Chain A
Amino acid sequence: MKVEKKVEKYARKKGWKVKARLEDGILYLEGEVPSYKEYVEIGRYAGKQKNVEGVVNRLKYKGKKEVKRKKGGNELIGEADVVIIGGGVTGCMIARELSKYKLDIILVEKAEDVACGATKANNAMVHTGIGEKMGTLKQKLCVEGHKMYEELSKQLDFPYEKNGMWIILTKDSFADMPIPSFLGNFIARFIIPRIILRRAKKLGIPMHIVKRKELLKEEPNVTSRALIAVYSPTYGVTSPYLFTIALAENAIDNGVKIMLETEVVDMITEGEEVKEVVTDKGRIKARYVINAAGIYADMVAEMAGAREYTIHPKKGSTLLFDKDYGNYIKHSMTILKFPRMEHYKGGGAMLTFERNIQLGPTLMEVEDREDTSVTAAEIKQIFSRFSLLLPNLPRKGVIAYFAGLRAATFTEDFIIRRAKKVRNFIHVAGIQSPGLAAAPAVAKMVVGLLKESGLEMVEKKDFNPYRKASVVIRELSVEERQKMVEKDARYGKVVCRCENVTEGEIVDAIHGKIGARNIDAIKRRTRAGMGRCQGSFCLPHVAKIISRETGIPLEEIKKNGNGSNLFIGKAKCLLEEENEN
Chain B
Amino acid sequence: MKTDVAIIGGGPAGLAAAIEAKKHAKVTLIERNEELGGILQQCIHHGFGNFIFGEALTGPEYAEHFIEQMEGIDVMLNTTVLEIDKNKRMLLSSPDGVFEMEAKAIILAMGCRERTRTQIFIPGTRPAGIYTAGTAQRLINIEGVMLGKHVVILGSGDVGLIMARRFTLEGAKVEGVYEIMPKPGGLTRNIVQCLYDFDIPLHLSHTIVEIVGKRRVEGVFVAKVDENFKPIEETKRFVPCDTLILAVGLIPENELTKKIGIELDDITAGPVVDEGMETSIEGIFACGNVVHVHDLVDDVSFSAIIAGREAAKYANGRKIKRRKIKVKAGENVRYVVPQIINGRDMEEITFYFRVKKEMENVVTRLLVDGEVRKEKRELIVKPPEMVRLKVKGDLVMNANSISIEVKKVA
A489 in the interface (beta carbon within 8 A): yes
Determine if B216 and A485 form an interchain contact, defined as CB atoms under 8 angstroms apart: no
Which of B78, B96, B146, B170 has the largest count of A CB atoms less than 10 A from its CB? B146
Distance of B389 from chain A, by nearest CB (Å) = 30
Determine if A575 and B171 form an interchain contact, defined as CB atoms under 8 angstroms apart: yes
Q: With A379-B123, A481-B98, A536-B132 in contact, is A571–B116 under 8 Å at CB?
A: no
Determine if B95 and A370 form an interchain contact, defined as CB atoms under 8 angstroms apart: no
Checking B32, B78, B146, B255 against A570 with a beta-carbon cut-off of 8 angstroms, the contacting residue is B146
A563 in the interface (beta carbon within 8 A): yes
Bitwise, A473-490 to B at CB < 8 A (1) or not (0) is 000001001100110011
Within 8 A of B (CB), among A375-428: 375-376, 378-379, 395-396, 398-402
B149 in the interface (beta carbon within 8 A): yes
Looking at chain A's contact residues, is the secondary structure mostly helix, strand, loop, or mixed?
mixed
Distance of B30 from chain A, by nearest CB (Å) = 12
Name the residue on B nearest A373 (C-beta): B125
Checking A399, A489, A543, A564 against B216 with a beta-carbon cut-off of 8 angstroms, the contacting residue is A564
Determine if A537 and B113 form an interchain contact, defined as CB atoms under 8 angstroms apart: yes
Determine if A493 and B78 form an interchain contact, defined as CB atoms under 8 angstroms apart: yes
B61 in the interface (beta carbon within 8 A): no
A574 in the interface (beta carbon within 8 A): yes
Name the residue on B nearest A531 (C-beta): B255
B91 in the interface (beta carbon within 8 A): yes
Distance of B8 from chain A, by nearest CB (Å) = 12
Bitwise, A526-555 to B at CB < 8 A (1) or not (0) is 000000111011011001100000000011
Checking A324, A375, A537, A555 against B145 with a beta-carbon cut-off of 8 angstroms, the contacting residue is A555
Checking A485, A498, A536, A567 against B146 with a beta-carbon cut-off of 8 angstroms, the contacting residue is A567
Chain B residues, CB < 8 A from A478: 91, 98, 100
Chain A residues, CB < 8 A from B97: 482, 485-486, 492
Within 8 A of B (CB), among A556-578: 558-575, 577-578
Within 8 A of B (CB), among A323-360: 324
A374 in the interface (beta carbon within 8 A): yes
B401 in the interface (beta carbon within 8 A): no
Determine if B98 and A572 form an interchain contact, defined as CB atoms under 8 angstroms apart: no
Determine if A537 and B135 form an interchain contact, defined as CB atoms under 8 angstroms apart: yes
| CA A533 to CA B132, docked complex, whole Å | 10
Determine if A485 and B98 form an interchain contact, defined as CB atoms under 8 angstroms apart: yes
Within 8 A of A (CB), among B64-122: 78, 80, 82, 91, 93-100, 113-114, 116-119, 121
Distance of A395 from chain B, by nearest CB (Å) = 8
| CA A558 to CA B128, docked complex, whole Å | 8
Determine if A492 and B215 form an interchain contact, defined as CB atoms under 8 angstroms apart: no
Determine if A492 and B95 form an interchain contact, defined as CB atoms under 8 angstroms apart: yes
Determine if A533 and B80 form an interchain contact, defined as CB atoms under 8 angstroms apart: no
Determine if B93 and A571 form an interchain contact, defined as CB atoms under 8 angstroms apart: no
Distance of A519 from chain B, by nearest CB (Å) = 8
A49 in the interface (beta carbon within 8 A): no
A48 in the interface (beta carbon within 8 A): no
A205 in the interface (beta carbon within 8 A): no
Looking at chain B's contact residues, is the secondary structure mostly helix, strand, loop, or mixed?
mixed
Q: With A492-B95, A555-B145, A575-B171 in contact, is A400–B118 under 8 Å at CB?
A: yes
A502 in the interface (beta carbon within 8 A): yes
Q: With A494-B32, A565-B216 in contact, is A574–B146 under 8 Å at CB?
A: yes
Name the residue on A nearest B91 (C-beta): A478
Distance of B243 from chain A, by nearest CB (Å) = 9
Determine if A566 and B171 form an interchain contact, defined as CB atoms under 8 angstroms apart: no
Bitwise, B117-139 to A at CB < 8 A (1) or not (0) is 11101011111110110110011
B143 in the interface (beta carbon within 8 A): yes
Checking A481, A554, A559 against B128 with a beta-carbon cut-off of 8 angstroms, the contacting residue is A559
Within 8 A of B (CB), among A263-308: none
Chain B residues, CB < 8 A from A565: 128, 216
Within 8 A of A (CB), among B199-242: 209-212, 214-216, 242
Determine if B135 and A534 form an interchain contact, defined as CB atoms under 8 angstroms apart: no
| CA A453 to CA B321, docked complex, whole Å | 86
Chain B residues, CB < 8 A from A181: none
Name the residue on B nearest A401 (C-beta): B118
Chain B residues, CB < 8 A from A376: 121, 123, 209-210
Chain B residues, CB < 8 A from A555: 145-146
A372 in the interface (beta carbon within 8 A): yes
| CA A564 to CA B130, docked complex, whole Å | 11
A-B contact count (CB 8 A): 158
Chain A residues, CB < 8 A from B216: 563-565
| CA A395 to CA B119, docked complex, whole Å | 9
Name the residue on B nearest A576 (C-beta): B171
A19 in the interface (beta carbon within 8 A): no
Checking A396, A494, A572 against B170 with a beta-carbon cut-off of 8 angstroms, the contacting residue is A572
Chain A residues, CB < 8 A from B119: 396, 398-399
Q: With A536-B113, A572-B170, A577-B171 in contact, is A482–B99 under 8 Å at CB?
A: yes
Bitwise, B131-160 to A at CB < 8 A (1) or not (0) is 110110011111111111100000000000
Determine if B95 and A485 form an interchain contact, defined as CB atoms under 8 angstroms apart: yes
| CA A378 to CA B122, docked complex, whole Å | 12
Name the residue on B nearest A486 (C-beta): B97
Determine if A578 and B171 form an interchain contact, defined as CB atoms under 8 angstroms apart: yes
Chain B residues, CB < 8 A from A578: 171
Name the residue on B nearest A383 (C-beta): B121
A497 in the interface (beta carbon within 8 A): yes
| CA A564 to CA B114, docked complex, whole Å | 23
| CA A572 to CA B98, docked complex, whole Å | 40
B325 in the interface (beta carbon within 8 A): no
Determine if B147 and A402 form an interchain contact, defined as CB atoms under 8 angstroms apart: no
Name the residue on B nearest A374 (C-beta): B123
Chain A residues, CB < 8 A from B144: 554, 570-571
Checking A378, A400, A485, A536 against B134 with a beta-carbon cut-off of 8 angstroms, the contacting residue is A536
Bitwise, B350-369 to A at CB < 8 A (1) or not (0) is 00000000000000000000
Chain A residues, CB < 8 A from B255: 498
Determine if A567 and B139 form an interchain contact, defined as CB atoms under 8 angstroms apart: yes
Name the residue on B nearest A544 (C-beta): B143
B172 in the interface (beta carbon within 8 A): yes
Chain B residues, CB < 8 A from A567: 139, 145-147
| CA A170 to CA B121, docked complex, whole Å | 29
Distance of A386 from chain B, by nearest CB (Å) = 15
Determine if A494 and B80 form an interchain contact, defined as CB atoms under 8 angstroms apart: yes
Which of A401, A489, A533 has the largest count of B CB atoms less than 10 A from its CB? A533
Determine if A564 and B128 form an interchain contact, defined as CB atoms under 8 angstroms apart: yes
Within 8 A of A (CB), among B358-382: none
Checking B125, B143, B147 against A568 with a beta-carbon cut-off of 8 angstroms, the contacting residue is B147
Distance of A360 from chain B, by nearest CB (Å) = 14
| CA A324 to CA B251, docked complex, whole Å | 15
Checking A396, A402, A540, A559 against B138 with a beta-carbon cut-off of 8 angstroms, the contacting residue is A540
A224 in the interface (beta carbon within 8 A): no
Chain A residues, CB < 8 A from B82: 494, 500
Distance of A310 from chain B, by nearest CB (Å) = 23
Distance of A369 from chain B, by nearest CB (Å) = 11
Q: With A492-B97, A493-B78, A536-B114 in contact, is A566–B121 under 8 Å at CB?
A: no
Task: List the 9 shortest-distance A-B pairs measured between CB atoms, nearest first.
Answer: A574-B171, A563-B215, A489-B95, A559-B128, A494-B80, A564-B215, A567-B145, A564-B128, A481-B98
CB-defined A-B contacts under 8 Å, sample of 13: A485-B98, A492-B98, A500-B80, A533-B113, A537-B135, A539-B135, A554-B143, A560-B128, A567-B145, A567-B146, A568-B148, A573-B146, A573-B171
Known: A564-B127, A568-B148. 17 other contacts (CB 8 A): A324-B258, A372-B126, A373-B125, A376-B121, A376-B210, A399-B119, A478-B91, A493-B93, A500-B82, A532-B113, A536-B114, A539-B131, A563-B215, A566-B128, A567-B146, A571-B140, A574-B172
List the interface of chain B (C-beta within 8 A of A): 32, 78, 80, 82, 91, 93-100, 113-114, 116-119, 121, 123-129, 131-132, 134-135, 138-149, 170-172, 209-212, 214-216, 242, 255, 258
List the interface of chain A (C-beta within 8 A of B): 324, 370, 372-376, 378-379, 395-396, 398-402, 478, 481-482, 485-486, 489-490, 492-494, 497-498, 500, 502, 532-534, 536-537, 539-540, 543-544, 554-555, 558-575, 577-578
